[in-house]
């Protein structure tokens, strides 16, 4: 299973670098330092918010190709899925960070490290230590963290090309944790739906 994960991580790195280069050469791109600019700045600087929305649109335009590229990693040992963060979910995250995370005085790069995300669900269990050892041995440029909290059990890996590029997030789940992890996401989604109903009357 670790070999399969290794191949996936290597492939994600290649895709990430290629698509980031394409993004930087596209009409959507504006050079913004995502580490120096803060989430609270999004309320006053439309250019910053437009950059996030434009990146999401750019990823969606390449979504079919990404689906085809990552489909080949589905096997009897694992399932791989991809997703792009919804526009209204972006709005919720901004408000949540401003209310609950240092009044939004957090780098945009830290808040929006998952505009594009992948998830691999492993049928054969992998521990955080096994994954971390792989990253430390072969991918020292990647950030690997144990994101387990309460019912949610997962390892997250982040792909990043400097302060001017959005990160990609890879979630690694073990199959035995899938049910609890989905339940954990549903609890978060309930908060999001409540926020949407209060702020937008439930409209998308």
Let me know if 44 is exposed, middle or buried by CB neighbors in 10 A (0-12, 13-18, 19+): exposed
The rounded distance, in Å, linking the Cα atoms of 192 and 186 is 10
**pLDDT of 204:** 33
Share of the chain above pLDDT 70, in %: 91
**pLDDT of 184:** 83
**pLDDT of 202:** 40
Number of domains present in the structure of the chain: 1
Q: Is 164 helix (H, G, I), strand (E, B) or coil?
A: coil
**Structural contact between residues 34 and 164, judged by C-beta atoms closer than 8 angstroms:** yes
pLDDT tens digits, residue range 76-112? Answer: 999 999 999 988 889 989 999 999 999 999 999 999 9
- Which carries the bigger pLDDT value, residue 114 or residue 187? 114
How distant is the alpha carbon of residue 39 from its chain centre? 16
pLDDT band at 162 (very low <50, low <70, confident <90, very high): very high
As given in the structure block, the two tokens for residue 61 are: 């335009």
Q: How far is CA 129 from CA 6, 29, 132, 134, in A?
A: 14, 37, 5, 9
Please determine, for residue 122, whether its predicted confidence score (pLDDT) is greater than 90: yes
Q: How far is CA 157 from CA 65, 114, 162, in A?
A: 22, 10, 16
pLDDT tens digits, residue range 7-38? Answer: 999 999 999 999 999 999 999 999 999 999 99
**pLDDT of 156:** 98
**pLDDT of 187:** 66
Starting from the edge strand earliest in sequence, which strands make up the sheet with 78-84, in order? 78-84, 116-122, 168-174, 155-159, 143-146
The whole domain housing 172 covers: 2-200
* Alpha-helix residue ranges (DSSP H) falling in 62-160: 63-71, 87-100, 108-111, 128-138
**Mean pLDDT of all residues in the chain?**
91
């Amino acid at each position: 299973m670790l070999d399969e994960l290794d191949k996936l991580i290597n492939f994600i790195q290649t895709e990430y670098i290629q698509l980031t280069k394409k993004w930087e050469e596209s009409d959507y791109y504006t050079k913004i330092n995502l580490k120096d600019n803060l989430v609270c700045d999004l309320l006053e600087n439309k250019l910053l918010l437009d950059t996030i929305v434009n990146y999401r649109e750019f990823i969606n335009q390449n979504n079919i190709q990404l689906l085809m590229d990552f489909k080949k990693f589905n096997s009897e040992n694992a399932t791989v899925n991809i997703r792009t963060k919804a526009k209204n979910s972006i709005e919720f995250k901004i408000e949540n960070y401003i209310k609950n995370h240092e009044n939004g005085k957090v780098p945009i790069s830290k808040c929006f490290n998952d505009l594009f995300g992948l998830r691999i669900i492993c049928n054969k269990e992998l521990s955080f230590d096994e994954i971390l050892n792989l990253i430390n041995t072969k991918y020292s440029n990647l950030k690997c963290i144990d994101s387990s909290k309460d019912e949610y059990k997962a390892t997250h890996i982040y792909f990043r090309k400097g302060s001017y590029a959005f990160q990609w997030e890879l979630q690694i789940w073990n199959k035995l944790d899938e049910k609890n992890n989905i339940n954990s996401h549903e609890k978060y989604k309930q908060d999001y739906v409540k926020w949407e109903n209060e702020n937008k009357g439930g409209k998308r």
